[in-house]
Structure 1
Amino acid sequence: MITAKQNPGVTNRGAHAFSSLLDSFYQDSVNQRRGQGFTPAVDLWETESSYEVELVLPGVTKENITVEFEEGVLRVSGERAFKKENQQLKYHRVENLYGKFRRSFQLPEHVDAAAIQAQFENGVLHVSVPKVEEKVVKHQISVK
């Protein structure tokens, strides 16, 4: 008779065991992220005339968002607060992430800082950073 050592976590090889394995992996991943706080998802893109930034900020109010531009760096910060309104509640699971957040984006030198616009609607912050024409530092002139 041949004996094989089995991993006790994978004794039942059915769909339920695989699902449980994925659930525990996901929970471990979420628990590790909890220590890092809330980090909003970001989309960045460039058009001919501007740089565009979108941050997904569910549960954050406009008053809790700060947008700053200094020395070529666009900074978006704020807080997603946990609302524990009723002290009688006994939470069994909280999967949403809460806390302070801060995202920074280094932008090229040729932007119009005075014309940056930020709009917050339906939990999405959209920041538009207009480009300015590059200054000519050196230009070759042909001799006729």
Structure 2
Amino acid sequence: MSLITYNPARTRTQGVNSFFDDIFNDKFFKTELPQERAFVPQVDISESESAFDLQFALAGFKKPDINIELNNGVLTVSGERKFEEEKTKKNFHSVETRYGSFKRSFQLPDSIDAEKVDANFEDGILNITIPKDVKKVQKKSIAIK
């Protein structure tokens, strides 16, 4: 099997123009920063009347690889997925899966019940449910003077 690198600049222009496209393409101005290669899981956050729900996409992770902390109203989820080359020493043509460590923090409102936070990890999805403390949730109208 032969792998061909896709170059969208070649399909846009021909001849001399393609020469300039190659010189001044996006990679010319882009620097390879560690942040670009960092692993950052996708998170869906929703809210109901009784709780906040966070769903992290953590395919390929195991429970021991994930840490969850709640400290002074800040929820921090961190973990690490290591690239494990098989003993057969395969020659990879492409690796699109992201590897590395991550750390995501979320400032939570004061109206949560920190004692009842629940986390469940199944099929590569980490679900965190943060119940609201109904005693702390109080709406108050303020009159303008």
- TM-score w.r.t. the length of structure 1 is 0.70
Shift of 1:85: 2.0
Q: Within 2, Cα distance between the matches of 1:111 and 1:85?
A: 44
Shift of 1:129: 0.4
Q: Within 1, Cα distance between the matches of 2:42 and 2:57?
A: 6
Shift of 1:104: 0.7
Q: Tell me the SS of whatever aligns to 2:80.
A: strand
Q: Within 2, Cα distance between the matches of 1:135 and 1:93?
A: 51
Show the counterpart of 1:16: none
Shift of 1:114: 1.0
Shift of 1:35: 4.2
Aligned residue type for 1:45: S
Q: Tell me the SS of whatever aligns to 2:105.
A: strand
Q: CA RMSD in A?
A: 3.4
Give the stretch that moved more between structures: 85-94 or 106-115.
85-94
Q: Within 1, Cα distance between the matches of 2:130 and 2:36?
A: 32
Could you say if the C-alpha distance between residues 119 and 64 of structure 1 is closer, same or farther in structure 2, counting changes exceeding 3 Å? same
Show the counterpart of 1:5: none
Shift of 1:83: 1.1
Shift of 1:119: 0.1
The structure with more radius of gyration: 1
Show the counterpart of 1:11: 13
Q: Tell me the SS of whatever aligns to 1:75.
A: strand
Q: Within 2, Cα distance between the matches of 1:139 and 1:125?
A: 38
Show the counterpart of 1:82: 83
Q: Tell me the SS of whatever aligns to 1:51.
A: strand
Q: Identity of counterpart residues, as a percentage?
A: 38
CA contact (8 A) 1:34 1:97 kept: no
Could you say if the C-alpha distance between residues 43 and 33 of structure 1 is closer, same or farther in structure 2, counting changes exceeding 3 Å? farther
- Give CA-to-partner distance per residue, 1:74-118, whole Å, 9 cap, x none: 110001111112263222211110000111111101111111000
Off by >6 Å, runs of 4+ in structure 1: 31-34
Show the counterpart of 1:63: 64
Q: Say whether 1:128 aligns with 2:126.
A: no
- Structure 1: which 5+ residue stretches go unaligned? 1-7, 13-23
Number of aligned residue pairs: give it. Answer: 122
